[in-house]
């Protein structure tokens, strides 16, 4: 894929960016696209997909309910309460 000034201007317009040095940007984008084309041509036949090249020996613990013994200490330090519930600011408008 060839990166040219027209493409850069369109990308900048869509991203609402103002590019000062278009030629430098074109050169950098071309390097990135060329690298992806190189990766696209790598023969991966027979290579098993993986999510990380590192061996993972970490195991996950079982989920379980843990009762907190001192609930009242949290309630008394919370600024707003309604019955047994703690009130927090709303996140929806």
Each residue's pLDDT tens digit, 13-43: 999 999 999 999 999 999 999 999 999 999 9
Angle at 56 between CA 50 and CA 61, to 5 degrees: 120
Do 12 and 18 meet the contact criterion of CB atoms below 8 Å apart? yes
Are 75 and 86 a contacting pair, CB within 8 Å?
Answer: yes
Tens digit of pLDDT for each residue in 37-61? 999 999 999 998 888 888 777 778 8
In angstroms, the CA 90 to CA 42 distance is: 50
Task: Give the per-residue pLDDT at 27.
Answer: 96
Which is nearest to 3 in space by CA: 40, 32, 31, 30? 30
CA distance 12 to 6: 10
């Amino acid at each position: 894929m060839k990166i040219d000034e027209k493409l850069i201007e369109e990308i900048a317009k869509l991203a609402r960016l103002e590019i000062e040095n278009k030629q430098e940007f074109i050169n950098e984008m071309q390097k990135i696209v060329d690298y992806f084309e190189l990766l696209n041509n790598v023969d991966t036949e027979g290579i098993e997909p993986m999510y990380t090249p590192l061996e993972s020996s970490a195991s996950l613990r079982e989920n379980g309910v843990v009762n907190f013994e001192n609930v009242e200490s949290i309630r008394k330090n919370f600024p707003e309460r309604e019955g047994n519930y703690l009130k927090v600011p709303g996140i929806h408008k």
